[in-house]
Amino acid sequence: MAKDINIKYTDKDFSSMKGQLVELAKNYFPDSYNDFSPTSPGMMFIEMAAYVGDILSFYQDSQIQETFLQYAQDPGNLHSMAYMMGYKPRVSTSSTVDIDISQIIAASIYVRTRL
């Protein structure tokens, strides 16, 4: 019978997830899988699962960060949260002008003198 394991939700990096997956395989599948060498195909799948977990954890943290006004970085999210709180920004545009620039240059005669 497999032992109950305590799953930790705070260790969300690749090496922690890989270690937890190895412990899970040792506890729940002690007879069917026991080759935990770095070159075994089973370790490849464990590392791929840990990689996917690491990437998903990163994206989850990024999405959660965008829900807090003081930590959001995306301008669209900042505007949405500001509008939600009742802020109505004054929209201003930059000034533009059409201008013609000219300069009058006096004609001069170049006189060549001989010595």
pLDDT tens per residue across all 115 residues of the chain: 455 555 556 778 899 999 999 999 999 888 988 889 989 999 999 999 999 999 999 888 888 888 888 888 888 888 888 888 898 878 788 889 999 999 888 777 666 667 6
Specify if 77 maps to a domain.
Answer: yes
Specify if 49 maps to a domain.
Answer: yes
Task: Report how many domains make up the chain.
Answer: 1
pTM greater than 0.85 (yes/no): no
Cα–Cα nearest to 27, from 54, 8, 6, 10? 6
Specify if 100 maps to a domain.
Answer: no
Specify if 42 maps to a domain.
Answer: yes
Residue 95, token pair as written in the block: 């000034």
Specify if 24 maps to a domain.
Answer: yes
Q: Could you tell me the residue range of the domain that residue 60 belongs to?
A: 14-84
Cα–Cα nearest to 57, from 22, 110, 92, 16? 16
Entry field: residues in the chain: 115
